[in-house]
Amino acid sequence: MHQARLTVDSKSVIGPINRRLFGSFVEHLGRSVYDGIYEPGHNLADDEGFRTDVLDLVRELGVTTIRYPGGNFVSGFRWEDSVGPRDQRPRRLDLAWHSTESNEVGLSEFSSWLEKAGSELMLAINLGTRGMQEALDLLEYANLGSGTALSEKRIADGHPEPYNVRMWCLGNEMDGPWQLGHRSAEDYGKLAAQTARAMRSFDPSLELVLCGSSSASMPTFGEWERSVLTHAYDEVDYISCHAYYEESGDPGNFLASGVNMDRFIESVAATADHVKAVRGSDKTINISFDEWNIWYNERFEKVDKIQGVDNWPVAPRLLEDCYTVTDAVVFGSLLISLLNHADRVTSASMAQLVNVIAPIMTEPGGAAWRQTTFFPFAATAARATGTALRVQIDCESYSTSSYGEVPLIDAVATFDESSGHGAVYLVNRSQNEEIEVSIDIGGLPVGNMTARTLSSEDPNAANTIDDQNRVNLTENPTLRHAGTSVSIVLPPVSWTELALNSLVPEKVNELRRTE
């Protein structure tokens, strides 16, 4: 068995963990909205047609912010279609996903759903087929109290209070040739800066997200960020990153996907800081990692893509990836990567939420269940509060085709001063070896601890409609701890949460006094 030594030091602070790190994404795509969160004919639907079993799972998942309504969809979306009397809303072609959009669910319905889910709305605007005026119209409709045509229209549409949306994405993946209205960095940078300036003349406190690259492998990556930030630096707060990973015949490489995410974040932060230096600015641009997940995109491109001039289905089954244990372990390491950059990544959206590359699956008229990726997300969102702490890792490494030598263990720790709770999140990337990990948590004032692991004899095990509870987190019985020393055995291809529970409050205070 391999051995590894980890040290958690309460003084190795990465940064405060913004709760928006545990956001998600709902796009009008496939069965994400229709037959996903919304299915009026289902026996568990509420009076607005929302599935209460799905709402329960969304609350259990603990998503804080939800990006909406796209994605590629938003670049052809006319927001006016989706508000007002439902029986007058037009059906429209969705060119991004070759589908028909009924507009049955729009801003009003979705914000009502969000209230039930307990999440914050993050709105994306269409800078593909539309521009500044339509963005300003939507902003006025959504955020102005009363007294103008658009704010009064919202009131007449049945929503007296403004939606007061704080975070706005200035378009979606505008660097991608597949995007409706795809632009050069120069053109997009100017449009985004003008739109942001105009939106801020309505409300200077809006938080605006500029489109970064749609992946680190885009040919324009790096230069795109430099250029768009040069145009829009003073007008925005965030630049976005998007990244999807899939296993394509090289599991060792796939298990090291977190390295790619680490480098991606660090390159974008360095580019933003370069622009900051050139401009002599004292403002720091943070990262909104507003699309990240495992996505078997190759399968979609080759098999599932809809075609045909007369073929525009409503809510087709698209991007319904079924996630394995290996997928969930890689997914868990992506969460570790986000936490390891909590100082710069202050918002993130797991893409997506229901049915479409999602942790929650549903069957029309049937069940809703948790995919394997549900578990690392729900556990981390629930416990990773307070501050992210760097973990010193001393372990063996393995060779990968894309990232060179990669450590077998990936980890991050968190500690919340106010509750006294902490956690260490761990991944074993080895495909066949258990690793015995000794952890020195000397710096943290914690009491008892528990550990839960996601792994399986079969790394391809998954939760399916026929076997909905095959994969779950289970207590790791190898956990031992004495004083500040912990030891635990991590199975091959596994994700683990070591939960560090609070000392009794008096003890925490006593320890602080002696520091």
* x/- track of binding to ligand AHR for residues 275-314 (CB under 6 A): ----------------x-----------------------
The pair of structure tokens assigned to 102 is: 């009924």
76 near ligand AHR, rule: CB under 6 A: no
8 A C-beta contact, residue 489 and residue 435: yes
User: Where is 474: in which H helix or E strand?
Assistant: strand 474-475
* x/- track of binding to ligand AHR for residues 135-174 (CB under 6 A): -------------------------------------xx-
CA 276 to CA 491: how far, in whole Å?
Answer: 44
Fill in the DSSP letter of residue 51: B
Q: Which of 213, 352, 371, 380 binds ligand AHR (CB under 6 A)?
A: 352
The pair of structure tokens assigned to 396 is: 């063996």
The pair of structure tokens assigned to 475 is: 């207590």
173 is an active site residue: yes
Q: Which of 99, 126, 214, 380 binds ligand AHR (CB under 6 A)?
A: 214
From residue 428, alpha-carbon distances to 62, 375, 421, 424, 451 in Å are 25, 16, 23, 13, 14
Which one, 65 or 428, has the nearer CB to ligand AHR? Answer: 65
Q: What residue number has its CB nearest to ligand AHR?
A: 71
Sheet strands (E) in 26-98: 65-68, 92-94
Catalytic residue among 27, 39, 173, 225: 173
Give the nearest distance from C-beta 370 to ligand AHR in angstroms.
20
Give the nearest distance from C-beta 18 to ligand AHR in angstroms.
22
The region of 70-78, 425-433, 473-481, 502-510 touching ligand AHR under the rule CB under 6 A is 70-78
291 is an active site residue: yes
The pair of structure tokens assigned to 216 is: 């680190």
Give the nearest distance from C-beta 352 to ligand AHR in angstroms.
6
The region of 66-74, 78-86, 363-371, 448-456 touching ligand AHR under the rule CB under 6 A is 66-74
CA 333 to CA 247: how far, in whole Å?
Answer: 14
CA 207 to CA 238: how far, in whole Å?
Answer: 8
CA 53 to CA 46: how far, in whole Å?
Answer: 10
CA 348 to CA 337: how far, in whole Å?
Answer: 12
CA 96 to CA 32: how far, in whole Å?
Answer: 15
Give the nearest distance from C-beta 97 to ligand AHR in angstroms.
8
In a 13 Å sphere around the CA of 365, the CA atoms on its Cβ side amount to 0
Give the nearest distance from C-beta 345 to ligand AHR in angstroms.
18
The region of 68-76, 109-117, 246-254, 376-384 touching ligand AHR under the rule CB under 6 A is 68-76
Give the nearest distance from C-beta 29 to ligand AHR in angstroms.
6
Point out which residues bind ligand AHR (CB under 6 A): 27, 70-72, 172-173, 214, 291, 351-352
Active-site residues, by number, are 173, 291
